[in-house]
Amino acid sequence: ERSKLKRLLTMRGATLDGETVSLQANIELPGDVAQVREVDADGVGLFRTEFLFMNRDVLPNEDEQFEAYRSVAKAMGGKPVTIRTLDIGSDKALNSGGPRVETNPALGLRAIRYSLSEPQMFLTQLRALLRASAYGKVQILVPMLAHAHEIDATLTALAVAKAQLRTEKVKFDENVLVGGMIEVPAAALSLGVFVKRLDFLSIGTNDLIQYTLAIDRTDEAVAHLYDPLHPAVLRLISQTIQVGTKAGLSVSVCGEMAGDAHFTRLLIGMGLRTFSMHPSQILEVKQEVLRADSAELGSKVAKILRQDEPERISEAVGKL
Ligand code: PEP
Ligand code: MG
């Protein structure tokens, strides 16, 4: 079985009817890139930078961050490297958490909200990301957006970082792409705001499911209610893919759903063409891609999306 998967390594990700599917990898630290190269992923779809900041007392300065981002950009040799700005808070806390106690950390000052509340820290990260963009195809991804003004404030901070680097004559990619995570239902229900301001979208199904179903993704007591196939979840994912793609943006899924081969055919049928997952899952998902007919799946999935009954949905997904 392992050797069969190995043969898949050299094959390009495409469906039977010739649709190219990009299979990218999620990483947490620069060292993970070795495994990404082993499976010949089409890029890094999600670099969770918070892992550079966690479990230490002094946060990484601009140079340390720059080295980390640059090493991944260089190692990927021109393939896209999507680096997410700090997604701290909730299940991923800093040592220097401070005295604030949150009753609902998943609904609190996390991710982009936290970055915008710490402008100096955010500017440092944006400068490091921009500097790394001179060494590969770096793209910047912003977590947990819900409001138009959060995107605007992020783009303003990025413009400040760019202006500083220009003045300092430090090189960076002037056209670096900026994308947003769609992981709050409000974002999936107001996509016009996002497609107008951003270059690409990435659906974070882990949080999108958590927030849509009001299920704490880390709470074992409600884990049985955490359902990726809930009709509300499927509709939000599907709409995001449709609206984003129609507006000319690339749309990926980088949550756990993208790496679960049971969902590959469903997501292709929804129109998804970019998946990002743990590198160990790429070959299994590629196997599903290679035996998929995207047109046929498209019409089958359209019917599933009209279903409300959970039993019907899971049965139909199983039969895809
Ligand atoms: C997600 O929410 O699906 C996601 C990819 O981000 P994280 O798991 O890091 O919150
Ligand atoms: Mg998330």
- Whether ligand 1 lies within 6 angstroms of the CB of 110 is answered as no
Question: How far apart are alpha carbons 245 and 65 in whole angstroms?
Answer: 32
Question: Can you give the length of the chain in residues?
Answer: 320
Q: How far is the CA of 17 from the centre of ligand 1 (A)?
A: 31
Q: How far is the CA of 6 from the centre of ligand 2 (A)?
A: 30
DSSP-derived secondary structure for 83-110: EE----BTTB--TT--S---SSGGGSS-
Mean residue pLDDT of the chain comes to: 95
User: At 80, is the pLDDT very low, low, confident or very high (cuts 50, 70, 90)?
Assistant: very high
Question: How far apart are alpha carbons 21 and 182 in whole angstroms?
Answer: 20
Task: Identify the pLDDT of residue 103.
Answer: 83
Calculate mean pLDDT across residues 302-315. Answer: 97
pLDDT at 99 over 60: no
pLDDT at 22 over 60: yes
Residues that place a CB less than 5 A from ion ligand 2:
183, 204, 207
Task: Quote the strand ranges of the chain, DSSP E.
Answer: 22-27, 44-48, 80-84, 137-142, 177-182, 200-203, 250-253, 274-277
Calculate mean pLDDT across residues 9-25. Answer: 96
User: At 204, is the pLDDT very low, low, confident or very high (cuts 50, 70, 90)?
Assistant: very high
User: At 100, is the pLDDT very low, low, confident or very high (cuts 50, 70, 90)?
Assistant: low
CB 178 within 8 A of CB 199: yes
Task: Identify the pLDDT of residue 91.
Answer: 72
Interface predicted TM-score (ipTM) of this complex, two decimals:
0.99
Task: Identify the pLDDT of residue 97.
Answer: 64
* Residue with CA nearest ligand 1 atom 9: 48
- Whether ligand 1 lies within 6 angstroms of the CB of 233 is answered as no
Task: Identify the pLDDT of residue 203.
Answer: 99
Per mean pLDDT, which range of 84-98, 177-191, 216-230, 283-297 is the poorest? 84-98
Instruction: Give the tokens for residue 139.
Output: 């793209």
Ligand in closest contact with the CA of 228: 1
Task: Identify the pLDDT of residue 89.
Answer: 79
Calculate mean pLDDT across residues 258-273. Answer: 98
